[in-house]
Amino acid sequence: MSEKKELVVVLLSSGMDSAVCASIAARDYRVAFIHFQYGQKSCLKELECFKKLVDFFKPELYKVVELPFLKEFGGSSLTSSELEIPKEDRPGEIPSTYVPFRNGIFLSIAGAWAEVIGAKKVFIGANEVDYSGYPDCRGEFLEAMQKALNLGTRPETQIEIVAPLLRLKKAEIVKLGIKLGTPFELTWSCYREGNIACGNCASCKLRLNAFKEAGVTDPIPYEGF
């Protein structure tokens, strides 16, 4: 018999960070997963991995939310077929893969769902150490978003945005995932389309470095490796 009483919402892209975040949440709580399809180039692969993660974690509830307008808005190489995904992030610059206010939109929607299903926590795998410099991954943004969420919902709704990976180095996230049994073989971090991770985009590089530093073999295959 489970003794986990509290239900929490987890944002699960199927990337390595959100999968470790799901492991942390599932250790202590009943979980409800939410996944977003917004026309990102890797959306089909992410959805495939999300379904496998659902099979693995067996959340109490899960929801796939379609946000095709984010691709229509444009302004990001992650969604626009006209902009190429760069191989490197330049330090101090917000990369072209930034999607305008993505986590703000995701947290607003996840918060609305949390209010309806009575969840008091929303878990997000945001990380502000080894990250791509996205403004919507920083702690101060998450705090402001939590405040907005609580002012814009019913007075009895008090939702905490929980970001357990916020201040961890990427290699520490890998180690934590290994310890918790995160199924990294079911995750996907590559920004590009395709069935095998490119190993060359900024996201693949961050992930490969993290596994290397952690002294662990990344279980997913990469092109040309």
Residues that bind a second copy (CB under 8 A): 63, 65-66, 68-70, 72-75, 94, 98-105, 108-109, 111-113, 115-116, 135-136, 138, 140-141, 144-145, 147-149, 151-155
Does residue 22 sit in helix, strand or coil?
Answer: helix
Distance in Å, CB of 11 to a second copy, minimum = 14
Measured distance CA(68)–CA(62) in Å, rounded: 19
Dihedral sign for Cα 127, 44, 89, 106, please: negative
| Beta-strand runs (E) in the chain | 7-11, 30-37, 61-66, 121-123, 160-162
User: What is the smallest separation between the CB atom of 179 and a second copy, expressed in angstroms?
Assistant: 31
Residue with smaller CB distance to a second copy, 135 or 183: 135
Instruction: Judge whether 122 and 8 are in contact, CB under 8 Å.
Output: yes
DSSP 84-129: PPPSSPPTTS--TT--TTHHHHHHHHHHHHHHHHT--EEE----SS
User: Of 139 and 215, which has the nearer Cβ to a second copy?
Assistant: 139
To a second copy, the closest distance from the beta carbon of 32 in angstroms equals 11
Residue 8 or residue 186: which is nearer to a second copy going by CB? 8
Residue number with CB closer to a second copy (56 or 113) = 113
Q: How far is the CB of 79 from a second copy (least distance, A)?
A: 11
